Chains A and B, each alone.
Chain A
Amino acid sequence: DIQMTQSSSSFSVSLGDRVTITCKASEDIYNRLAWYQQKPGNAPRLLISGATSLETGVPSRFSGSGSGKDYTLSITSLQTEDVATYYCQQYWSTWTFGGGTKLEIK
């Protein structure tokens, strides 16, 4: 099975900061990578598929990059509504999620 590792389980950020969340697969997943945002009490929300494709309605301050095993979700100018937990997911071979990265305000 493919393992997905998000190196930071949480970190504190300031409003307006640029945030980078990383995700590493245990093997090449050929850009079959999605990012989800989850707020407390809510279901996850798809932000990005195919490593870089922004879903309709997702603000353009979100972007995805990466290839091979290593992928990144970036948020430029963090807003209050971006405080949430973010999960990566590979769908190259069955489906596996990362452990999540929780953003908190300093």
Chain B
Amino acid sequence: EVQLQQSGPELVKPGASVKISCKTSGYTFTEYTMHWVKQSHGKSLEWIGGINPNNGGTSYNQKFKGKATLTVDKSSSTAYMELRSLTSEDSAVYYCARTGTGAWFAYWGQGTLVTVSA
């Protein structure tokens, strides 16, 4: 069974950084691209970017370039997203999502709530 287990909620101060993890199991980690999606409270979904775990190649939504950095640790089958220079606009639930046999998002993590507050 494919599982994506994300790290717990974060409360961070404005200007700080946060790193969220997405630990995977049930499949070969390097065979599928991992994406990250933002959902602000009561709002729609925004694609942040994706990473190829096999070679570390990344693709970002222009809006999140400089804000988000995607990495992976193949040894632990875990994907990471670091968000920096946080403001209240970054308060949201962040999801990791794995592609299926095509480019759609077949599997999702449970989400990580990031709250930016002094």
Contact = CB atoms under 8 A, between A and B. Distances in A.
- Chains A and B come from one and the same complex: yes
Contact of A50 (B46, B47, B102, B105): B102
A49 B102 CA distance: 9
Nearest to B105: A46
Nearest to A45: B108
Interface residues of B, number: 21
B95 interface: yes
A100 B104 contact: no
Interface stretch (A14-22, A72-80, A87-95): A87-95
B47 A95 contact: yes
Contacts of B104: 34, 46, 49-50, 89, 91
A32 B103 CA distance: 8
B44 A99 contact: yes
Contacts of B44: 87, 97-100
B101 to A, nearest CB: 9
A96 interface: yes
Contacts of A97: 44-47
Interface in B65-118: 95, 97, 100, 102-106, 108-111
Nearest to A87: B45
Contacts of A94: 47, 59, 61
Nearest to A33: B104
Interface in A30-68: 32, 34, 36, 43-46, 49-50, 55
A91 B45 contact: no
Contacts of A44: 45, 95, 97, 105, 108
Contact of A43 (B46, B102, B108): B108
Contacts of A34: 104-105
Cβ-closest 3 pairs across A and B? A43-B108, A34-B104, A95-B47
Given A46-B105, A97-B44, 17 more contacts: A32-B103, A36-B45, A43-B109, A44-B95, A44-B97, A45-B108, A46-B100, A46-B106, A49-B104, A50-B104, A89-B104, A91-B104, A94-B61, A95-B105, A98-B44, A100-B44, A100-B45
